[in-house]
């Protein structure tokens, strides 16, 4: 049994616990949250030892791997300690709050030879995985234009409202828009040029629009968490190829070509009964990324997807885009 130590049992910790409970050969062995009732909820139905702080877990728990689902401003300090304890470490995205922290994590991982995976989850989301194959295989010709969009109501669930404080979360650009930036960079590499604007009405109205120029095509990325609670969370894309348009929107994955409109069917992960709510209805990518992480840890193999180095590259891009001076 692979013993998991989970630090942070809020929105994302609950999502991860739900996934671990459905992965074979894996056991939730320790959980920590300063809001103890959150940790107790996730330990329910398992033999997990409950700790109050992440540091208590890191000092005392007997675990094989650590998963950090803390608010972003707490990632680096816990991750640096975790690398002295385990060989495999998962950190939710964004990997860290600042570029300096990201660089410190890279140095520590080298020194301790720790394998890290970062929760850039859409790299593991079924539709995005399928899109990558279409781009790489050239099945529909070259890319002509691409648009990635992620729009959300104001995130009000965070511990001590940390998400709406850019000095603790990096704001909507670093927390939400980074998903599509990371995916775009992983698919097409660094753009030749880019132009990015973020409105200045404060985090509750935060909106980011980015235009990325590649050889022969343009990618636009739109992100906001400034919508009213009545608006559903949406993560969509439309990629125009020479010979087809691939669109993931409104719960449908479609191909439009000269012959007509075709719904694309892809297999979804079976998640069993989850313990999470929230505004994301499809948990498939979370399950897929944690299956990958657990399998690598069980086999003692290197992490090759959503690596620390990838995540720090994306962090650097986003921090520069929105004008943070680091």
Residues that bind ligand NAD (CB under 6 A): 7-13, 32-35, 38, 53-54, 69-72, 74, 92-93, 119, 121, 157-159, 175
Q: Rounded to the nearest whole angstrom, what is the least distance from the CB of residue 127 to ligand NAD in the complex? A: 15
Phi/psi of residue 18, nearest 5 degrees: -60, -40
CB closer to ligand NAD out of 10 and 102: 10
Q: Rounded to the nearest whole angstrom, what is the least distance from the CB of residue 280 to ligand NAD in the complex? A: 7
CB closer to ligand NAD out of 57 and 219: 57
Q: Rounded to the nearest whole angstrom, what is the least distance from the CB of residue 95 to ligand NAD in the complex? A: 9
Judged by DSSP in three states, 34 sits in coil
**Which two structure tokens, joined as six digits, stand for 173?**
């650009």
Q: Half-sphere exposure (CA, 13 Å, Cβ side) for 217?
A: 18
Judged by DSSP in three states, 235 sits in strand
CB closer to ligand NAD out of 158 and 274: 158
Return the residue nearest ligand NAD (CB atom): 10
Q: Rounded to the nearest whole angstrom, what is the least distance from the CB of residue 175 to ligand NAD in the complex? A: 5
Cα–Cα distance measured from residue 306 to residue 265, given in angstroms and rounded to the nearest whole number:
25
**Residue 73: DSSP 8-state:** G
CB closer to ligand NAD out of 70 and 79: 70
Q: Rounded to the nearest whole angstrom, what is the least distance from the CB of residue 152 to ligand NAD in the complex? A: 10
Residues in the chain: 326
CB closer to ligand NAD out of 34 and 269: 34
Residues 225 and 207: beta-carbon distance below 8 Å: no
User: 251 vs 6, 139, 285, CA distance in Å?
Assistant: 31, 23, 15
Q: Rounded to the nearest whole angstrom, what is the least distance from the CB of residue 218 to ligand NAD in the complex? A: 26
Give one DSSP letter per residue of 238-285, joined into a string: EEEESS-EEEEETTEEEEEETTEEEE---------S----SS----HH
CB closer to ligand NAD out of 11 and 237: 11
């Amino acid at each position: 049994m692979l013993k998991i130590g989970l630090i942070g049992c809020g929105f994302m910790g609950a999502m991860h616990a739900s996934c671990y409970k459905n992965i074979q050969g894996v056991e939730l062995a320790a959980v920590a949250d300063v809001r103890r009732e959150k940790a107790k909820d996730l330990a329910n139905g398992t033999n997990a030892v409950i700790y109050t702080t992440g540091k208590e877990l890191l000092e005392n728990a007997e675990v094989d791997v650590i998963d950090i689902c803390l608010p972003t401003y707490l990632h680096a300090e816990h991750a640096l300690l975790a690398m002295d304890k385990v060989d495999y470490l998962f950190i939710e995205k964004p990997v860290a709050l600042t570029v300096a922290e990201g660089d410190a994590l890279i140095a520590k991982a080298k020194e301790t030879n720790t394998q890290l995976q970062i929760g850039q989850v859409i790299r593991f989301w079924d539709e995005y995985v399928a899109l990558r194959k279409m781009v790489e295989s050239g099945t529909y010709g070259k890319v002509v234009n691409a648009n990635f969009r992620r729009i959300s109501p104001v995130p009000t669930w965070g511990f001590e409202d940390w998400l709406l404080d850019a000095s603790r979360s990096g704001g909507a650009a670093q927390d939400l828009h980074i998903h599509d930036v990371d995916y775009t960079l992983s698919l097409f590499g660094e753009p030749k040029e880019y132009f990015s604007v973020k409105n200045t009405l404060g985090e509750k109205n935060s909106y980011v629009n980015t235009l990325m120029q590649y050889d022969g095509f343009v990618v636009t990325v739109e992100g906001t968490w400034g919508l009213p609670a009545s608006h559903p969370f949406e993560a969509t894309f439309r990629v125009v190829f020479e010979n087809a348009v691939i669109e993931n929107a409104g719960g449908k994955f479609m191909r439009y070509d000269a012959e007509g409109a075709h719904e694309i069917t892809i297999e979804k992960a079976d998640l069993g009964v989850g313990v999470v709510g929230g505004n994301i209805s499809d948990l498939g990518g979370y399950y897929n990324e944690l299956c990958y992480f657990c399998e690598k840890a069980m086999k003692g193999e290197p992490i090759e997807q959503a690596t620390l180095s990838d995540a720090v590259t994306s962090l650097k891009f986003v921090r520069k885009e929105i004008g943070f001076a680091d």
